[in-house]
Amino acid sequence: MRRLLIANRGEIACRIIQTAKCMGITTIAVYSEADRHAKHVRMADEAFCIGPAPALDSYLAIDKLIAAAKGSRADAIHPGYGFLSENVAFARACAQNQLIFVGPSPSAMAAMSSKSDAKTIMATAGVPLLPGYHGDEDNLENLTRAAAQIGYPVILKPALGGGGKGMKIVRQESELTEAIQSARREAKSAFGDQTLLLEKYLTEPRHIEVQIFADRHGNCVYLSDRDCSVQRRHQKIIEEAPAPGLSDHLRKAMGEAAVQAALAIQYVGAGTVEFLYDSTSQAYYFMEMNTRLQVEHPVTEMITGQDLVQWQIRVAEGHRLPLAQHEIQHQGHAIEARLYAEDTEQGFLPASGTVHFLREPVSEHAPAYPAQQIRTRVDSGITEGDTVTTFYDPMLAKVIAWSEDRQSAILQLKKLLSEYQLGGLATNLNYLQRILSHDAFVQGKLSTHFIEHYQDTLS
Ligand code: ADP
C-alpha cells in the first residue's frame, strides 16, 4: 500500500492519517465544501473536494469517492467508522475498481448487516444468544408465541437497524400488537425494511464488547474487551478497557466466543463483537457484530500497546497478524470520554458555531506506538478557528487516560478534561466530569441504564 485515501472526516480521519504517515504511506484526504479548512485536510499529504456539505452528496457518495480514489491514484481506501464503513456496495465498488478496501470482505459485511441473519449464524457457531425470534416469518402470531414462551419484558428490533432506532420494549402482551406496528413503521422509514426480531429484554445489562482481529491466513485473535454501558439514547459516552469486574475465566470465554463468531463468517480485519452481559447470572449474549474499527478503539490500544490502524493496514496488505493470542497481554486500565458539540442544558441538542479558542491537553503520544505506559491521549478532529456545523456527527474529540488501575485512570481522565479548554460553542465537558465524579461510576456500578438512573444528579 503506497497511497491511501481516507473516506472520512474529523478525528478518525486524523487518527488514520497519523498511523499511515508513520508507515510511510502517502495520505489522501477527501472533504466536503463545509470541511475545506478542516484539520484532516491540512494533515493529509493531498486532499480532494468531493462535493457539497450534506453527507449524501459527499462522504456517502460512493461514485464520488471512487472517482477521487482513481483520480488521485490511490491504491487503497480506509473507510473509518460511520459513513460508508459498513456499506457492502461501497466495499464491492472498491474491489471492482482494484482498490484495496481496508476492512472485511463484502460477504462478511453482508452476513452481519442483518441482526436476524447474524443471530442465525452465531447460533450455528455456538455463540450464546438471548432467547427470542429472529426468523423470516416475523408475523404477529410467531412473535406473540415467542414472547409468551420467553416471558415479558421483550424487545423488538428492526433487523437492519442501527443507532437504537425503531427498538421497542414491550412489557406485557396487551402492548405487543401496537408495538409491532409502530416498530415496523419506524423500521420501514429509517431502514427501508420492516423485518423485526424479538428477544428477551434484560432489565439491567452491561454492554460489553470484544475487539477481534483476523487475517487472510485463517488467524483470528481477541484483544481484550471494553465496557460501553454509559450511553445516552444508545449513544456511547464513556468507554473503558478492560471491562471492570470480569473474572479471567469469563473474559477468556467471551473472547473465545467472539473469535468463534468471526471465524464463522471468514472474517478479515478489525471487528467488534457486542454482547449484553447480565451481572447477576454472569451470562453474556451476542448482540451484534460491527465490521469496522470502533470509535472506542483507543482504550484497547492503550491497554494492549498495539496500534490497531497499523494492524488493519498490514492485514489489508495481506500480512499475517503481528501477534498470536498468547502474545497479547493487557495492562492497567484505560477510559475514554467522548467530547460532543451539544447543549446539555437544552435537551442535548447538537451545537454549532466557531471554535474561537482551543487548548487541548497535550497527548503524550498519539496514537499508539506503542501505547503502553502512555497515560494521556487526545484524538481530536478540530483546531482553533474551525466552524462546527450540524451536518455531521457532533463528536469533536476523544480524551483518553491510562493508569495502573481504574481509580487512578478516572482521576487522570478528570484532570485531562479539566485542562481541555474550548470557547465558541456548547459542549458536554461538564457533563462528562459529572459522570466521572459520580459515586456509582466510581464504584463501577455500570449498566446501560446508568444515565437514566442518575439523570437528576448528573444535570
Ligand atoms: P443498534 O444497532 O440500533 O445500536 P443494538 O442491538 O446494538 O442496536 O442495541 C443498542 C442498545 O440497546 C444496547 O447497547 C442496549 O443498551 C440496548 N439493548 C439492546 N438489546 C437489548 C436487550 N435484549 N435487553 C436490554 N437492552 C437491550
In angstroms, the CA 379 to CA 130 distance is: 35
Residue closest by Cα to atom 8 of ligand 1: 164
pLDDT in tens, 159-186: 998 878 899 999 999 999 999 999 999 9
The pLDDT assigned to 116 comes to: 94
130 lines ligand 1 (CB under 6 A): yes
- Give the whole-number percent of the chain exceeding pLDDT 90: 94
pLDDT in tens, 174-228: 999 999 999 999 999 999 999 999 999 999 999 999 999 999 999 999 999 999 9
From 209, 276, 285, the mutation candidate for ligand 1 (largest count of ligand atoms within 8 A of CB) is: 276
Residue closest by Cα to atom 21 of ligand 1: 201
**Residue 164 grid coordinates:** 437504537
Q: Find, among 217, 157, 149, 218, the residue nearest to 191 by Cα.
A: 157
In angstroms, the CA 237 to CA 342 distance is: 12
459 band by pLDDT with thresholds 50, 70 and 90: confident
In angstroms, the CA 232 to CA 396 distance is: 17
The pLDDT assigned to 165 comes to: 86
- Give the whole-number percent of the chain exceeding pLDDT 70: 98
The pLDDT assigned to 164 comes to: 80
CB neighbours (10 Å) of residue 449? Answer: 14
Ligand 1: nearest atom to the Cα of 203 = 25
CA-to-CA separations, 76 to 87, 146, 357, 407, in angstroms, rounded? 16, 46, 36, 41
Q: What is the mean pLDDT of residues 359-371?
A: 67
Q: How high does pLDDT run on average in the chain?
A: 95
199 lines ligand 1 (CB under 6 A): yes
153 lines ligand 1 (CB under 6 A): no
pLDDT in tens, 122-142: 999 999 999 999 999 999 999
Beta strands of 189-261 (E only): which ranges? 196-200, 206-214, 220-232, 235-241
276 lines ligand 1 (CB under 6 A): yes
194 lines ligand 1 (CB under 6 A): no
pTM of the model: 0.95
164 lines ligand 1 (CB under 6 A): yes
Q: What is the mean pLDDT of residues 81-85?
A: 95
The pLDDT assigned to 371 comes to: 47
Ligand 1: nearest atom to the Cα of 158 = 3
Name 347's Cβ contacts closer than 8 Å, sequence gap at least 6: none
Q: Is the pLDDT of residue 52 over 90?
A: yes
Here the ipTM equals 0.97
- Kindly provide the b/e burial profile for residues 237-274, where b requires at least 16 CB atoms within 10 angstroms of the residue's own CB: bbbbbbbbebeeebbeebbebbbbbbebbebbbbbbbb
SS3 category, 345: coil
CB neighbours (10 Å) of residue 178? Answer: 11
From 155, 171, 238, the mutation candidate for ligand 1 (largest count of ligand atoms within 8 A of CB) is: 155
Q: Find, among 289, 242, 287, the residue nearest to 103 by Cα.
A: 289
Q: 216: number of CA atoms within 13 Å, CB side?
A: 12
The pLDDT assigned to 58 comes to: 97
Q: How close is the Cα of 325 to the center of ligand 1, in Å?
A: 29
112 lines ligand 1 (CB under 6 A): no
Q: Is the pLDDT of residue 366 over 80?
A: no
pLDDT in tens, 264-306: 999 999 999 999 999 999 999 999 999 999 999 999 999 999 9
Query: Which residue in 9, 206, 251, 292 is the catalytic one?
Result: 292
Q: Is the pLDDT of residue 365 over 70?
A: no
Candidate from 81-90, 303-312, 367-376 with smallest mean pLDDT: 367-376
pLDDT in tens, 419-439: 999 999 999 999 999 999 999
368 band by pLDDT with thresholds 50, 70 and 90: very low
pLDDT in tens, 332-354: 999 999 999 999 999 999 999 99
Q: 40: number of CA atoms within 13 Å, CB side?
A: 30
In angstroms, the CA 166 to CA 231 distance is: 17
In angstroms, the CA 174 to CA 324 distance is: 52
In angstroms, the CA 89 to CA 62 distance is: 8
Ligand 1: nearest atom to the Cα of 154 = 23
Ligand 1: nearest atom to the Cα of 115 = 6
**Residue 309 grid coordinates:** 490502524
Instruction: Assess whether 292 carries a catalytic annotation.
Output: yes
CB-based burial label for 67 (10 Å; 0-12, 13-18, 19+):
middle
Q: How close is the Cα of 432 to the center of ligand 1, in Å?
A: 22
Q: Is the pLDDT of residue 150 over 60?
A: yes
287 lines ligand 1 (CB under 6 A): yes
